[in-house]
Amino acid sequence: MHVTMRQLQVFEAVARHLSFTRAAEELHLTQPAVSMQIKQLESMVELPLFEQIGKKVFLARAGEIMLEHSRTILDQLKEAAEEMESLKGVEGGHLVVCIASTVNYFATRLLSVFFQQHPNVRLSLDVTNRKELLKRLEANEPDLVLMGKPPRDLDVEAEAFMDNPLIIIAPPNHPLRGKRKIPLRKMEQETFVMRESGSGTRIAMERMFEQHGIRPPISVQLTGNEAIKQSVEAGLGLAVVSIHTVELELGAGRLISLDVEHFPIERKWYIAHRKGKRLSATAKAFREFVLQQSDSMA
Ligand code: PGA
């Protein structure tokens, strides 16, 4: 079998998504290019790897076996690459970091200091919300992730490096401005704007309100912290956000923080990686750096 690595990668992506379109998106290929690779692979093994019933794609028996072997081969290759990276030492290395969108507000500062110290390190940086970050972590793509609380059902090694208080923000002319210890129940008379599903901030906010039996009305759901801040400034409602996302606006008086009972929600930021992952010298250095910097950042 003269199978290429690319064909195995394409096959693995189609098998994981059970969709040619989504595999094409992930690999930045066109759908005909993906279909072509699969056809070539099928003609080499002389068996169909997928079955299509209506619009649904299923793995054929040969596909199941091929998937098992493909994953072993691709994992081995990844391990080899990781070992090669670790031989290169800190300076020549390549660092793959995935960070939660909310961490982005200060992570870029951390990264820039690290890169001043190690100017030859190459970086791949991915910024996304919690749900997408967990998918990447599960697929063992990044060396390290900076995220909210790591899930219990995934084998990760995680260390907290910084506090992440969640506060309630409001426009500066809000009637509750300056009030102390506002009862949580009062929030039911307010309207909130909320992050997209998949956001860690949103999960923490929903959990806190639920624990206290509170159901504040939601006016709109928005993707990303920037959209949330702008809509609060524009008077669409209040919002729960990480204090790190609004430092500038609070300083400039464009937004205020309300002193509401049970707030701030005390969360932490973690640096994490899959258990058993062989961290390269560069990844180890970055991890140490983040843990050391955490005190001065706080
Ligand atoms: P997010 O932040 O809200 O941008 O997903 C991650 C988290 O708080 O867990």
Q: Is the pLDDT of residue 261 over 80?
A: yes
Higher pLDDT, 2 or 230: 230
Determine contact, residues 192/217, Cβ cutoff 8 Å.
yes
Cα–ligand 1 centroid distance for 195 (angstroms) = 9
pLDDT at residue 230, rounded to an integer? 96
What is the Å distance from ligand 1's center to 213 Cα?
Answer: 23
Q: Which ligand 1 atom is at minimum distance from the Cα of 204?
A: 8
Which of ligand 1's atoms lies nearest the C-alpha of 102? 4
> Structure tokens of 251?
């300083």
Residue 280 — pLDDT band, cuts 50, 70, 90?
confident
Q: Residue type at 292?
A: Q
Closest CA to 216 of 250, 258, 244, 247: 258
* Residue 295: pLDDT band with limits 50, 70, 90: low
For the ranges 113-127, 157-171, 276-290, the one whose mean pLDDT is highest = 157-171
List, in sequence order, every residue forming a beta bridge with 249; answer none if it has no partner.
Answer: none
Q: Among 227, 272, 243, 239, which residue's Cα sits nearest to residue 99?
A: 272
Cα within 13 Å of Cα(250), Cβ side: 14
Least confident segment among 61-65, 131-135, 213-217, 274-278: 274-278
Query: If you take atom 8 of ligand 1, which residue's CA is the nearest one?
Result: 200
CA 79 to ligand 1 center in whole angstroms: 29
Band of residue 196 on the pLDDT scale cut at 50, 70, 90: very high
pLDDT at 235: 94
Find the mean pLDDT for residues 149-168: 91
> What's the Cα-to-Cα distance from 42 to each of 2, 7, 23, 72, 204, rounded to whole Å?
12, 10, 17, 19, 47
Q: What is the pLDDT of residue 92?
A: 74
CB atoms within 10 A of CB 179: 13
Indicate the top mutation candidate among 101, 146, 149 to test ligand 1's pocket, ranked by most ligand atoms within 8 A of CB: 101
If you average pLDDT over residues 129-137, what whole number do you get? 90
Predicted pLDDT at 191:
96
Q: Which atom of ligand 1 is nearest to the CA of 149?
A: 9
| Segment (H or E) for 26 | helix 20-27
Evaluate if residue 297 carries a pLDDT over 70: no
203 Cα–ligand 1 center, Å: 8
Q: pLDDT digit string (tens) for 41-88? A: 999 999 999 998 888 999 999 999 999 999 999 989 988 887 787 777
Decide: residue 23, CB within 10 A, 0-12 exposed, 13-18 middle, 19+ buried. buried
List ligand 1's pocket residues with C-beta within 6 A: 100-102, 129-130, 147-148, 195, 199-201
Structure tokens at 18: 């059970």
Label residue 122 exposed, middle or buried (CB < 10 Å: 0-12, 13-18, 19+): exposed
Average pLDDT score over the chain: 92
CA of 227 to the centre of ligand 1 (A): 14
Residue 271 CA to chain centroid, in angstroms?
12
CA of 99 to the centre of ligand 1 (A): 9
Owner of token pair 């300056």: 178
Alpha-carbon span 103 to 126, nearest angstrom: 11
Residue 192 belongs to what H/E stretch? strand 192-195
pLDDT at 296: 66
The pLDDT of residue 298 is above 60: no
Closest ligand 1 atom to the C-alpha of 267?
8
